[in-house]
Amino acid sequence: MTEKQVIRFRLNGRPVEIAVESHESLVDVLRRGFQMYSVRESCGQGLCGCCTVYVNGTAVSGCLYLAVLVDDCDVMTVEGQGSFDALSIVQQAFIEREAFQCGFCTPGMVMMATQLLQEHPLPTDEEIRHYMSGNLCRCAAYTEIIAAVHRASELMKEHGLTLPASTGSAV
Amino acid sequence: MSKVIEPGTNEITTTGQVGRSVPRLESKAKVTGRAEYIHNLELPGMLHAKVVRSTVAHARIRRIDVSAAKEMPGVYDVITAEDVLKLIPDPYYGPAFHDQPILAIGKVRHVGEPVAVVLASDVHTADRATDLVEVEYEDMEPVFHEVESAGTETAIVHDVIRPAGTFADLKTLKPRTKTNIAMEYHLRSGDVNAAFANADHVFEHTFRSQQVNHLPLEPIVTVAEVTDRGNLLIHTASQSPSFVRIEVARLLGWPENRVRVRTAYLGGGFGAKLYIKLEALVSVLALLTGRPVKLSLTMEEQFYTITRHAATVHIKTGVTKDGRILGRHVTTWWNGGAYADIGPRVTQKSGFTAAGPYDIDAVSLDSYAVYTNLPPAGALRGFGIPQLVWAYESQTDIIARELGLDPLDFRRKNLLTNGRPHATGTVLVDAGTTEVLTELERLMDWHGPFEHGTGPIRRGRGIAIGIKAAVSPTTSVAFVNIYSDGSCGLYCGTVDMGQGSDTAMAQIAADVLGLAAEDVRVIHADTDVTPYDMATLGSRSTFHMGNAVRLAAEDAKTKAVEMCAKQTGLATASLRVENGQVVTPDGQAFTYGAILSKQYGMQAGNIMGVGSFVPDYEKPSSENGKSENITPFWMVGGTGVEVEVDIETGKIAITRLVTVGDAGKALNPGIVKRQLSGASIMQMGFTLFEEMAFDEGQVVNASLADYKIPGFWDVPEQNDVQIVEVPHKNGPFGAKGIGETGSLALSPAVANALQDAIGVRIYETPLTPERVLRALRAEQGNEWEED
């Protein structure tokens, strides 16, 4: 066993601290320490996107990201994006376009789609496929996810709705 | 009778709940990441289990040394078969055969077989300690290919083959020795030899499907704990909680009421989480330690746990020169891997449809479940049917081309239609064979012009159609509980693994009771709470559980009306139910809550409705394999594709995918379309690139890095899905299952399109660029040497 190290970071806008071992991944720590169960380890190799979280506003694979590295960082999970009573635009669009089946990959998809729309508010199909290609869905709801990203883009443009800040606000 | 559903159409029933595209009831839970999965479950004092797995395909175990692992700091215990045997003297489990040991006893039969388990509070500690368990093996001769294994006399996987006697239709199976054929099924209908003699042409081909994996993104996971009364509580990502309870209770010699099995949402299933997987092992670990134990597989371990059968299909067909099929003989060898799982049922239940959706006078079928030293194979979205359709629909096109007939017209000419007997003797009823083919023809603009191209990119198109018989006989039971305020809970054991069953079942109950589907709460499978259901498999739930739910809701409604009749002194026949209220002839309306309040003098009590459904069934005759009632309903699926083939690289790109499925009645058209599309794209992966690659039984690509599944770039630009509705007289509101329909016909449609594009035929999936290039070179007389 290695020595534990205390790290402090902001999780969905709130300051937190936890003692972690050097080998622990961000997925392990978010689940073990903070019950952030939207962050899921599936392939364990950074290939499926089920563990997508933002670190300092950038999407990373939580299963490959060592937890010690988020010391003093902003970490955001889908729990920080929206809630039952206040869904984010992307979450709303996913429901409207039925862009999920089992839902296991959905938080990662929502995170990635949100970052895509921050960078490309009016993405083409090609841009969506390219940007989202690191996220897998075994139920294969891809056609619907592409439609959902377009729908979210439309909601932003036509209704002036905005995306949640990628560093998270206190929830 | 049939009709085609346009996107967004709201079909109106009496109350409009059935036929409405209700968004999944759990939508918000899923997009916010709050949906419950067993993957997320942690219990106080829980130990994590990590499995020590066999590194060889077939061997005697000489010695297992766990001492170093036990001494590692943080390790709680290391368990082997020796410990299991103290608790369970005969620790072999399985749905069709009791052949799978909880941990290997004396020998191993495939790479990855569980040999020992390390337990620790920390999952990483347990993982590291597995490396310290030393196992000494004495190699035995392994066998991997299904046809070779069926004939071998030396490499015998099981000394004695032991049927379980669980399923009514497999009860008569006898134990066997000195063979790897676990079970065989034979059908004889008409004189096939005479048909071949009378035929103008006889075609004979062999097709093969490769071994592939389900790979649900929520890996298979089970948590078990011992309760304060010494009973078992098993939390498991399972498609069949009722079966798990029966099987664990049987192993322990306990009554069913001492074992409680519950599930949550499943992060995908596709057949991987069926029957019994980790549950027996984790239960034993909890009982041995007295602590809650969790075993969550890694993606790599999923490859060694359950897979889809590789299959070799030999098909011989006699036709007249004008394109009438006279006779067909099909022999199928199913590669079941080291343990039978549900393979014997695949052998029979799928075996009998091997002649396809065609009206053929003389049919003879042989189907063999074969043990090999590969990871076990079970049910994967289609129960073996896609492997059979791959063969017969590839051959259909080959024959049509040889005879100079249009492939679609050739199919139509031979199509089995309602009122005609299938080869089993069961008359086809309410099946959309004609409708699906006609819809495919229209959507593909089949008789319209099509540009094949002349440059390095060639274009082609193909179609195929498949038929599947729903597995029978199976039972579903449901409860509808109207609570004291009139709100409604639906207790059903169907497991929602993404197919949207919660929503569909709520729609059925709501339609009957006059409520909104959104207001029905569906209680997830928990054997202490929800009644028996055979399993969530084989597209059976809509039909079977749908009927049980409808009957339960009808029962609750009848009881509410009777209660109201007594309270008002009116005749029950004079009362009707509207918008969730019982209405009297003079227009007085009583909510279910008001009726209960009146009954009990305060807000109290329940109205309980019970429904159970088991369809009629006649098992196949042991003499000729025939039955007049072999299935409660038929599924019919058709696929059309347009492809672009790069003749320089051999890569096939599907540019347009058309999936047509007969839903009987689409209870929720939105979800039905998603199911059809999802199944189709999953099958596209199995067709174009997914393949478990082996080296001496070791899976050399057991990760998502090396085993690619369809991603965003693989989805065709045009992905068209079409629902056909040919209502079934016994289906709830006419509905049939749809979960596998999109899987049935895609593979041969692509191979047929490939031949249309570049004139070559491939007989084995996946249709990789290498295979395409090799076939193309062979066609040009410029064959590549094998490496």
Q: Which pLDDT score, from 0 to 100, does residue B9 have?
A: 38
Direct distance between the N- and C-terminal alpha carbons of chain B, in angstroms, rounded to an integer = 56
**Tokens, residue B135:** 């196992």
Helix B241-252 crosses helix B279-289 at what angle (to 10 degrees)? 50
Q: Which pLDDT score, from 0 to 100, does residue B14 have?
A: 62
* CATH fold of A4-79: Ubiquitin-like (UB roll) (3.10.20)
Q: Is B352 on the interface with A (CB under 8 A)?
A: no
Beta-carbon pairs below 8 A across chains A and B: 168
Give backbone dihedrals phi and psi of B387, rounded to 5 degrees, phi first.
-65, -35
Structural domains in chain B plus CATH codes: 27-35+474-613 (3.30.365.10), 38-142+214-303 (3.90.1170.50), 307-472+620-779 (3.30.365.10)
CATH 1.10.150.120, chain A: domain bounds: 89-158
Distinct helix (H) and strand (E) counts, chain B: 19, 35
A13 contacts A167 by C-beta, under 8 angstroms: yes
B429 contacts B470 by C-beta, under 8 angstroms: no
CA distance B481 to B491: 8
Pairing of strands B488-492, B520-523: parallel
CATH 3.10.20.30, chain A: domain bounds: 4-79
Pairing of strands B259-262, B232-236: parallel
Would you give the DSSP letter of residue A3? P
Preferred mutation among A22, A90, A130, A142 to probe B, highest tally of B CBs within 10 A: A142
Q: Which of A79, A91, A138 sits opposite B709 (nearest CB)?
A: A138
B234 contacts B222 by C-beta, under 8 angstroms: yes
Tens of pLDDT along B413-442?
999 999 999 999 999 999 999 999 999 999
Q: Is A108 on the interface with B (CB under 8 A)?
A: no
Q: Is A144 on the interface with B (CB under 8 A)?
A: yes
Q: Compute the mean pLDDT over every residue in chain A, rounded to the nearest whole number.
A: 94
Angle, CA of B61, B65 and B70, to the nearest 5°: 140
Question: Which architecture, in CATH terms, is A89-158?
Answer: Orthogonal Bundle (1.10)
B662 contacts B741 by C-beta, under 8 angstroms: yes
Q: Order across the sheet with B134-139: list the strands.
A: B107-108, B59-65, B134-139
Q: Which of B27, B214, B674 sits opposite A144 (nearest CB)?
A: B674
CA distance B769 to B759: 15
- The answer to whether the CB atoms of B267 and A23 lie below 8 A apart is no
Would you give the DSSP letter of residue B648? T
Q: 């999920």: which residue's tokens?
A: A100
From its phi and psi, is residue B353 left (phi > 0), alpha (psi between -120 and 50) or beta? alpha
Closest-approach residue (CA) in chain A for B29: A84
CA distance B355 to B374: 28
Helix B746-758 crosses helix B669-688 at what angle (to 10 degrees)? 60
Give B265's contacts in chain A (Cβ within 8 Å).
Answer: 102-103
Preferred mutation among B20, B24, B28, B32 to probe A, highest tally of A CBs within 10 A: B32
Q: Which pLDDT score, from 0 to 100, does residue B3 have?
A: 53
Would you give the DSSP letter of residue A164? P
- The answer to whether the CB atoms of A136 and B711 lie below 8 A apart is yes
A89 contacts B21 by C-beta, under 8 angstroms: no
Give A42's contacts in chain B (Cβ within 8 Å).
Answer: 217-219, 267, 299
Residue B651: CB partners within 8 Å, gap ≥ 6?
Answer: B645, B769, B772
CA distance A36 to B754: 47
Q: Compute the mean pLDDT over every residue in chain B, rounded to the nearest whole number.
A: 95
CA distance B313 to B350: 12
- The answer to whether the CB atoms of B268 and A104 lie below 8 A apart is yes
Tens of pLDDT along B469-487?
999 899 999 999 999 999 9
CA distance B278 to B755: 44
Q: Which residues of chain B have pLDDT under 70?
A: 1-14, 168-173, 787
CA distance B152 to B370: 11
B80 contacts B103 by C-beta, under 8 angstroms: yes
CA distance A156 to B750: 39
- The answer to whether the CB atoms of A100 and B73 lie below 8 A apart is no
B129 contacts B121 by C-beta, under 8 angstroms: no
Shortest CA gap A117–chain B (Å): 17
- The answer to whether the CB atoms of A84 and B34 lie below 8 A apart is yes
Closest-approach residue (CA) in chain A for B499: A101
Q: Is B731 on the interface with A (CB under 8 A)?
A: no
> Would you say the C-alpha torsion B252, B253, B256, B257 has a positive or negative sign?
negative
Q: Which pLDDT score, from 0 to 100, does residue A158 have?
A: 85
> What SS3 state is found at B365?
strand
Q: Is A44 on the interface with B (CB under 8 A)?
A: yes
Q: 């045997």: which residue's tokens?
A: B85
Burial (CB count within 10 angstroms: exposed 0-12, middle 13-18, buried 19+), residue A171: middle
Give B32's contacts in chain A (Cβ within 8 Å).
Answer: 38, 78-79, 81-84, 87, 91, 107
User: Which of B270, B494, B273 shows the shortest CA–CA distance to B386?
Assistant: B270
* B457 alpha-carbon distance from chain centroid: 36
**Tokens, residue B765:** 């999936």
Q: Is A139 on the interface with B (CB under 8 A)?
A: yes
User: Which of B29, B239, B59 shows the shortest CA–CA distance to B136?
Assistant: B59
> What SS3 state is found at A137?
coil
- Inter-CA distances, B228 with B231, B232, B249, B284, B290, Å: 7, 9, 18, 16, 10
> Would you say the C-alpha torsion A57, A58, A64, A70 has a positive or negative sign?
negative
Q: Which of A31, A42, A137 sits opposite B219 (nearest CB)?
A: A42
Q: Which of A82, A98, A143 sits opposite B670 (nearest CB)?
A: A98
Give B497's contacts in chain A (Cβ within 8 Å).
Answer: 102
* B119 alpha-carbon distance from chain centroid: 32
Pairing of strands B310-319, B325-335: antiparallel
Q: Which pLDDT score, from 0 to 100, does residue B177 have?
A: 85
Confidence check: pLDDT of A121 > 50: yes
- The answer to whether the CB atoms of B218 and A91 lie below 8 A apart is no
* B140 alpha-carbon distance from chain centroid: 33
User: Which of A23, A51, A19 shows the shortest CA–CA distance to A38?
Assistant: A51
The amino acid at residue B654 is I
Cite the DSSP H helix spans in B533-628.
541-568, 592-600
Would you give the DSSP letter of residue B635? E
Q: Which pLDDT score, from 0 to 100, does residue B572 have?
A: 97
**Tokens, residue B619:** 């098992």
CA distance B134 to B62: 11
Three-class secondary structure assignment of B230-266:
CCEEEEECCCCHHHHHHHHHHHHCCCHHHEEEECCEC
Give A129's contacts in chain B (Cβ within 8 Å).
Answer: 712-713, 715
